[in-house]
Chains A and B, each alone.
Chain A
Amino acid sequence: MSAAARFVRYNAGLILAIALFAVIYGTYAVLHPNWGLNVVLQNANESLALIFVGMAQTMAVLVGGLDLSVGPLMTLTNCFGSIVMAGSGGSVLAGVVGALALGAAAGFMNGCVIVYGRIQPIIATLATGAIYLGCALILRPTPGGAVNGDIAWAFTNDLNELGLTFGWWEDLGPIGLLPMQALFLAAVIGLVWFPFRATVLGRGCYAVGSNEQAAYMSGLNVNRSKIAAFTLGGFFAGCAGVYLTLQMGSGNADAPQAAEYTLRSIAAVVIGGTSLFGGTGGVVGTIFGALVLRSITFIFRVIPAGAALSFVADPLLQPLFEGLILLLAVSLGAARVLRVKNRLSLFT
């Protein structure tokens, strides 16, 4: 097998997600009456938090579990951030660092409960998720908080706006048009995910998801890898919370929103090509999985009224469609069951 053929084969899920995104978002761009950089910025703004939450979910799925606390953890870090970040530049920095640390600490707690409590991830995080939401409500009984408007504006637009807001630069040319969201994402991927994947701990996460017994028998520290996966997941959920704070300029302990993000994060992971059985895939695929989900929402907005399909744009139908898409994606992910030869292994 040539190197290129192997790349395609081993990254089929990722490539499929990218293609799907290109098609759906391309259609949206064509249908949109005045699609342009401003629209891209707006789209990026609406997508980044979901991308981060999806990345958080990916870590749990990689080690063979599900994390139901990613949405609530985003909400918690959002509420925390909205309190600390209300002030000068220094407090914003403290808020960002604090919220990320809070996210990682909560993820670490998830990992410890799962590993040392010997509780299935889905049950453990159902409980800790409720705890995180409860803490968020204590911090912010009512929605509120006021993040410095200039800073919020500067960090949720493009590079040029950042320079203009603080008087750092005037116009960087084409580079200045880069959305800040892309830069944040690139920074997290480049400085956190790629290095993590290249550690023994990171590879251990794949090993545990692939075959936990064999990982143990190979002398890997299975517990440490699991805890690391959930800690990193918590960190990513913290990133989502921080970005939500910048985007909204406030905090809101919104339980339905937390639940919605958790559900969509699972869909994003599956569409992004990470196997729900664990061991294959990664957060890069999830980025595109989340973008596919968001693009579907976008496209409903631009379906012209009166068109044959216009009924699907009804906002009341959105949850129904998202449920169907999730079901479809999960069924595709489970297709390997068809290849099982010993039917007893279906039930274990």
Chain B
Amino acid sequence: MSLTPAPLLEMRGISKSYGGVKALTDVDFVARRGEIHAVLGENGAGKSTLIKIAAGVVTPDTGTLAVDGAPRAFASPQEATGAGIVCMFQELSLLPDLSVADNIFITSPPRTRLGLIDRRAQRRRAEELLARVGCEDIDPATRIRDLPLSRRQMVEIAKAVGRDPALLILDEATSALTAADVEKVYTILHKLRADGLALLYISHRMHEIEALADTLSVFRNGRRVDTFAKGAHSDDAIVQMMIGREFANVYPAKPKRAAPPPPVLQADRLTFSPGLNGVSLTVGKGEIVGIGGLDGQGQRELLLALFGVLAGVGGTVKIDGTARRIGSPADAKRPEIGMALIPEDRKTEGLMLPMSVAENITAASLGAVTKGVVIDRAGEADNVGRMVKEMQIKVGDLAAPVATLSGGNQQKVVIAKWLLTKPKIILLNDPTRGIDVGTKEEIYALLRRLADEGAAVVLYTTDYAELIGCCDRVLVMYEGRVTAELTGEAITETNIVSAALNLAAETAA
């Protein structure tokens, strides 16, 4: 018998790429029994990939994984669960049409001697489990669909605990919880730690990590930067560790302004459930306003709400000082509003992949080139030719399907499509994701040129360097609100990251 037992989970030399993008590079990671291990990092630092590998959702390209010293390779979440690794994912894994009890015991319900599900025993054990996580108020017979989000998350916790895990991974497990529930979760997690479980805790809330974690690991750009005991470093030092990168000067110069430009887009207290809790913003003529913050704080909803995609949005929107109701993307495109949205996922929302490059470029502006009801082919061809030249789209055959272009050129087609509508307001949702550096630079230059020509630009990006390099102003969102507005010299990575983690408010609280 060895004196120091093997750690519960040990990962060695793990690498994983998606396409050409490296999500994890040569990562070693260890989780021990009786320890709550917090994992920190910016968007895209590799945290999710790490836990997905541990939970059997993703297989690594290289590297090994051992549970209790024995090497394992998980082909599915089932196998990982079998090895005692249970993961609570950020996106809830509950089945809306099944009852609470059915969900908790989805894979291994109590059975009768005939091998059938013993509903009575299942109900009783569900009640016990819910009581264990302090949720006696949830009736196990209720359908998940009928529960509010905060209760669902507690059911998710009960479900995870009910699987008797050896390693429990919690990915943003408390994001939707009320303060009282968060306290209950703390109690449960401390108890599980005392029972000898290993816990991996992923959260963006520093005060939660203060309250819970024994050990912290910081990830950056797909690498584990450091692992240390709680208290070894200050919050500021941890933030520095999360950023710690140099960036090249690929951005065009920002104009100096004496007075704020005249407002083009004014949104007042926009609400939408879920995601927006009263967001106001003003974007002036010729301005590039960046939207920052951690993933999923309502940024996408904000752009979709402005563009008329969401139904039931509260608040008002003024364009050039006139209140407007934008009920659909077709409304948003009308000349008096003149809005364009470059969507997040060009493959599903931006392009009709099997259609030709030319057809895609003119898809949003066909109204301008029709003669009666017939599309004016010559006018269309003129527009296409002009945009291909202006945007420097590298295309051999305009009649070829747009799917044959490279990612960067596809994105240029999406942008060209919207520029043909001569928009006054341009909304962009992470426009440089997954495209090459050269094209990124061209897009930055283009955005500045459009702004100089008088457009109001709203840029949501997950890359902080872009916020700093491109934007005249940056609004940082947290839990559906704008929590910080940074201008000029104040747009620094440290400020953005602390605002994104809402450090100021949490220190005050």
Contact = CB atoms under 8 A, between A and B. Distances in A.
B107 A195 contact: no
B95 A342 contact: no
Contacts of B117: 198-200, 203
Contacts of A200: 107-109, 117
B137 interface: no
A84 to B, nearest CB: 32
Interface stretch (A112-120, A141-149, A208-216, A305-313): A208-216
Contacts of A211: 95-96
A206 B95 contact: yes
B141 interface: yes
Given A216-B77, A220-B106, A342-B304, A203 B115 contact: no
Nearest to B80: A219
A199 B92 CA distance: 24
Interface in B122-147: 139, 141-143
A12 to B, nearest CB: 12
Interface of A: 1, 3, 6, 10, 195, 198-200, 203, 206-207, 209-211, 213-221, 279-280, 340-344
B349 A217 contact: no
Contact of B143 (A10, A195, A215): A10
Contacts of A344: 304, 309, 349
Contacts of B251: none
Contacts of B273: 341
Given A199-B117, A341-B311, A344-B349, A219 B107 contact: yes
Interface in B82-119: 89, 91-98, 102, 106-109, 114-117, 119
Nearest to B348: A348
23 contacts: A198-B119, A200-B107, A200-B109, A203-B102, A203-B109, A211-B95, A211-B96, A213-B91, A214-B92, A214-B93, A214-B94, A215-B95, A218-B77, A218-B106, A218-B107, A219-B78, A219-B80, A219-B81, A219-B106, A279-B97, A341-B273, A341-B310, A342-B311
Contact of B312 (A10, A203, A207, A341): A341
B81 A210 contact: no
A300 B298 CA distance: 56
A203 B310 contact: no
Would you list the 10 A-B pairs with minimal beta carbon distance, nearest first? Answer: A198-B116, A279-B97, A210-B97, A217-B93, A210-B95, A219-B78, A214-B93, A219-B81, A198-B117, A219-B77
B97 A209 contact: yes
Contacts of A214: 92-95
Nearest to B313: A341
Given A198-B117, A341-B273, 11 more contacts: A6-B142, A203-B98, A203-B102, A206-B98, A217-B93, A219-B80, A220-B107, A221-B78, A279-B95, A279-B97, A343-B328
Contacts of B94: 214
A214 B103 CA distance: 10
Contacts of A220: 78, 106-107
B342 to A, nearest CB: 15
B436 to A, nearest CB: 27
Contacts of A3: 141
A65 to B, nearest CB: 16
A220 B82 CA distance: 12
Contacts of B143: 10
A200 B98 CA distance: 13
Contacts of B102: 203, 206
Interface of B: 57, 76-78, 80-81, 89, 91-98, 102, 106-109, 114-117, 119, 139, 141-143, 272-273, 304, 309-312, 328, 349
Contacts of A198: 116-117, 119
A322 B342 CA distance: 45
B310 A342 contact: yes
Q: Which of A216, A279, A340, A342 is packed against the most chain B CB atoms within 10 Å? A: A342
A342 B309 contact: yes
A206 B80 CA distance: 23
A218 B142 CA distance: 19
A3 B99 CA distance: 13
A203 B106 contact: yes
A219 B76 contact: yes
A341 B275 CA distance: 12
A294 to B, nearest CB: 28
Contact of B116 (A199, A221, A343): A199
Contacts of A217: 57, 77, 89, 93
A346 to B, nearest CB: 10
Nearest to B81: A219
Given A210-B98, A343-B309, A343-B311, A199 B115 contact: yes
Contact of A207 (B106, B311, B328): B106
A219 B143 CA distance: 20
Contacts of A6: 141-142
A280 B109 contact: no
Contacts of B309: 342-344
Contact of B95 (A199, A207, A340): A207
A115 to B, nearest CB: 15
B310 A343 contact: yes
Nearest to B163: A219
A341 B77 contact: no
A343 to B, nearest CB: 5
A1 B106 contact: no
